[in-house]
Amino acid sequence: MSKYGTFHEVNGRYALRFERNFQYSPEEVFRVITDPDSFMQWYPFATGEMDLRPGGKIGFDDGEGSTYEGIITELESPHTFEFREVDDVIQISLREEGEGCEMVFTHIFDDKEMVMYVAAGWHRCLDAFGQIVNGQPVEWKDNAAELREFYSTAFESK
């Protein structure tokens, strides 16, 4: 399985989809996804404020003076965590696979011009997420430019 994301059009919007496999049960991975302290370590601008229920709010701070809230739209432990962040939708689903599970992370958005930046960013964030799941300290690789180049080439015909 490739760690690289794929780009799709969905109902007039755009979607980036990433798949990751873990040697842990969906329950174990879901706990990491929905733990506010872990979430802050890998999810951009997360503040750790999270009301974990459908309709609950997730707090964000862009570090430049703007704070905003996401709204949890679907929550089904240990398989689905979905929320709306401004106009974007984040869908995270888990399913058992062998001894572990597969996670599918999908970001639905409108601005196609930003796709290489968004894809590179999520790729890096999901690498950090994988480190957390595996009990490793988060180390951000200096690979943003390389990933932007990869995604720019991979998605240029779309």
CATH for 42: 3.30.530.20
- Asked if the structure places residue 68 within a domain, the reply is yes
| Domain assignment present for 28 | yes
Q: Count CA atoms within 13 Å of residue 43 on its CB side.
A: 25
Confidence at residue 34, expressed as pLDDT on a 0 to 100 scale: 97
CB-based burial label for 9 (10 Å; 0-12, 13-18, 19+): exposed
Q: Give the number of domains in the chain.
A: 1
DSSP 88-151: EEEEEEEEEETTEEEEEEEEEES-GGGHHHHHHHHHHHHHHHHHHHTTPPP---S-HHHHHHHH
- CA pair distance 147, 80, nearest whole angstrom: 27
- Domain assignment of residue 70, given as a range: 7-155
Q: What is the pTM of this model?
A: 0.95
130 occurs within a structural domain: yes
Per-residue tens of pLDDT for the chain, all 158 residues: 579 999 999 889 999 999 999 999 999 999 999 999 999 999 999 999 999 999 999 999 998 999 999 999 999 999 999 999 999 999 999 999 999 999 999 999 999 999 999 999 999 999 999 999 999 999 999 999 999 999 999 998 76
**Is the residue at 2 inside a domain?**
no
Residue 105, domain member (yes or no)? yes
Left, alpha or beta for 14 (phi > 0: left; psi -120 to 50: alpha)? beta
1 within a domain of the structure (yes/no):
no
Please check whether residue 22 lies inside any domain of the structure: yes
Residue 81 falls inside a structural domain: yes
